[in-house]
Structure 1
Amino acid sequence: MAHQRLAGKRALVSAAAQGIGRASALAMADEGAQVFATDVNADALAELEHPGIETFEMDVRDADAVAEGVARSKPDVLFNCAGYVHAGSILDASDDEWDFAFDLNVRSMMRMMKAALPGMLERGGGSIINMSSACSSVIGAPNRFIYGTTKAAVIGMTKSVAVDYITQGIRCNCICPGTVESPSWHDRVRELGESLGSYEAALEQFVSRQPMGRVAKAEEIAALVVYLAGDESAFTTGQAHVIDGGWSG
């Protein structure tokens, strides 16, 4: 049963059509928030029907679209969830992949925060939650050079925003998950399976590095999002919250 822990709060979520973004939008709505769920995938987003959730298409790489989305939602809670996982080592990385990853995984969060912060400051507070990863400055992962670099940048950006606005009612934290089951993760498993010879072999490789013997459920990450969005975490800011099933431990 929901306890309305987020009653009265307005939450803006990017990449809400699937995975962690979708699970978090649903979880926050169940806890009483008015959720504005956005994504570039309009078809998938249209399937997100739930009381307390309003959906609209938004490209976090488009500054005008971000400004319009923030003006529409007037968020007390901002969850920056959009991102992309590039595979490969430094020798595999192209300039185009590097630029795309930093624009989507890092700069888009800067755009969102710059757009949302003035309203939060005017209203006297807010909670910003950025999606980082255990694959970052926390731990290295094989063949995740570009991705891990961008997610390390998210941790640094989060800490900088937190310290700059700590006295003005703004909290900024990031979440560092391990491997999480989602449609995009299954796509990566299938891609790896093509080189290993089978989907099952790729799945075993992903799961074998998890001390718990399984990957996370999106709902498990969403529970942390709800906590960071609400007043229960009022004394928490500037932190990289690792939720990786012991992978980095």
Structure 2
Amino acid sequence: MRKRITQILFTYIFWMVAGQAVLAGNSKTETLLQEANELFASAKDNLALQKFEQALELEPDCYEALWKSSLLNSRIGLRYSDLLTQQKYFEKAWSYADAALCVNPEDAESNYVMALAVYNKANVLGVKERMLRSKVIKFHLDAALNADPAHADAWQLMGRWNFKNANLSKPEKAAVNMFFGGVSLDASNEKAVEALQKAISYNPANISYYYDLACVYRELQKMDLVEVTLLEASELKILTTEELEVSRRCQAMLREIQKA
């Protein structure tokens, strides 16, 4: 009888301690997520990524930390000119996106960060990889927008996808013929315009949407719309160094078309 009571007490103490450990772990994860999101909102991407990765060490299936770690790796990777460094970040972005999809395969964010990671990774690897993965990117963008039709960043990437695939080079067209038997990717500049207009409508403060839209209008030789779009961009508030660089590109394009 005494032995039985001892076993019961031991089991109770074990689960009580284990439960406290779990609660402590959850509390630490929540604290890290709060700190990470504050850094994320302040555009301190490297520091935010460190916090999200610390949260993942405690809770590997934390969905928010997974998709935001993927997004941050994609963002940070684009800041490097060295292709090997870019590839390292984009590979990590893909890995986190894959894990996020395993946790929540139908959510907009997991599908968007996967589309973004594949898009960036394919651009680094070259024509063959870019064409081979083109439909994968479109699949995840469709899934993201099906889950959240107001996802502005997904609309921007959809615009870029259409613009790239509507204006393929000869080597890219040859790759499409090789991999897809000449079947069209169903992309067009008009669809790019529509997608980017939707991105702007859902988030009118993002200057990169305006720059992308101006590039498509320029390809369509709609110079009056290029100017209107760039003038709208010039009125936006600039908060980050990336936005400052895009603003400079907008100003340079505006000067160019006004001289013509």
The answer to whether TM tops 0.5 is: no
Which protein, 1 or 2, shows the higher relative CO under an 8 Å CA cutoff with sep ≥ 6? Answer: 1
When you count helix as a share of all residues, which structure comes out higher?
Answer: 2
Bigger radius of gyration = 2
TM-score between the two structures when normalised by the length of structure 1:
0.31
Higher strand share: 1
Calculate the TM-score normalised by the size of structure 2. Answer: 0.30
